[in-house]
Structure 1
Amino acid sequence: MYQRILLAVDGSQSSDLALSQAIAVAKATGAEVKALFVADDSDAFFDVAYFDAKALMQGILTFGNKVLAEAASRLDAAGVRHVTQLIEKPVAPGQISSTIVAQADTWNADLIVLGTHGRRGVRRLLMGSVSEGVVGKTNRPVLLIRSEVEG
């Protein structure tokens, strides 16, 4: 059934829950998991008036490598075959969902697994939804794992 699972991780609670589900599916099907972190600094332009772009990106990359190392450790402990990949730039600024779909296509994933933060209302409109973008841009099966609603 599923032989290649693309798992998008971002270090959030919902991402951690998605990792648990990807492990369960991979163990049940013998699938390989590709854990993917997409580094994107485009949101920073809306958060602060001045920042050191180079230092910000280095912090994002360091965080991404940490998230991927933690995912790899859990996948190892579960005995799941896996690879990890850090994408330093999305296909276009703010286009994390398009980048995830492009990676799923390139890697020929059978399933995409990712967490969703449960944002609603104005927060969802302003921040967008990576998970909604992935679902709308792919014809591959997508397993969304929802954490508690953030409000």
Structure 2
Amino acid sequence: MYERILLAVDGGPSSDLAISQAILVAKTMNAEVKAIFVVDDSELFFEGSHINPDDILRDLFSVGQQTLSRVAARLRDAGVRCTTAVIERPVSPGQISSTIVAQADTWPADLIVMGTHGRRGVRRIIMGSVSEGVIAKTNKPVLLVRSERDA
């Protein structure tokens, strides 16, 4: 049923749980997993900062590479075929959910697996919900794994 699983990770606790679920589904279906990390450039557009945005992007790219290295090791240790990709720029500034959907369509994935932080109230309004955006923008099945703690 699922031959290609797109696993979107951000390095947080909910991503760790999503990796476990992706492994379970991939092993059951003998599926391949593509793990992606999207560099979030949305906070780089605040003015008045003396921080070089290129330095921040370079650091975030490095975090993405390190995160995906750990993810790939877990997948391979579990016997799951996998590839990884750091997506350096969202399809448009701050549009992480659109970028995940575009990756799922381009690859093409049969299933999207990702964690969700389960934020509520003001924190959700301020920080948005990538997972809700993915669900709203894709016609593919999405497996959301909620973190037990709000990250």
TM range (shorter): over 0.9
Write the letter of the residue equivalent to 2:55.
Answer: A
Where do 1:11-30 residues align within 5 Å? Answer: 11-30=11-30
> Counterparts of 1:40 and 1:9 in 2: how far apart (Å)?
12
> Counterparts of 2:19 and 2:44 in 1: how far apart (Å)?
26
For residue 55 of structure 1, report the CA deviation from its aligned partner. 1.1
Question: CA-to-partner distance for each residue in 1:8-65, whole Å, 9 max, x for gaps?
Answer: 0110000010001000000000000000010122124459833121111111000000
TM-score by length of 1: 0.95
Task: Decide whether the 8 Å contact of 2:23 with 2:80 is kept in 1.
Answer: yes
Where do 1:1-151 residues align within 5 Å? Answer: 1-45=1-45, 49-150=49-150
Write the letter of the residue equivalent to 1:25.
Answer: V
TM-score by length of 2: 0.95
- The alignment's C-alpha RMSD in Å is 1.6
Gap runs ≥5 in structure 1:
none
Percent identity, aligned pairs only, is: 64
Task: Name the SS for the 2:100 alignment partner.
Answer: helix
> Counterparts of 2:26 and 2:47 in 1: how far apart (Å)?
38
> Counterparts of 2:35 and 2:13 in 1: how far apart (Å)?
16
For residue 126 of structure 1, report the CA deviation from its aligned partner. 1.0
For residue 71 of structure 1, report the CA deviation from its aligned partner. 0.4
Write the letter of the residue equivalent to 2:88.
Answer: E
Task: Name the SS for the 1:51 alignment partner.
Answer: coil
Give the aligned length: 151
> Counterparts of 1:141 and 1:116 in 2: how far apart (Å)?
15
Task: Decide whether the 8 Å contact of 1:119 with 1:149 is kept in 2.
Answer: no
Gap runs ≥5 in structure 2:
none
Task: Name the SS for the 2:42 alignment partner.
Answer: coil
Question: CA-to-partner distance for each residue in 1:107-150, whole Å, 9 max, x for gaps?
Answer: 11110000001111111111110000000000100000000242
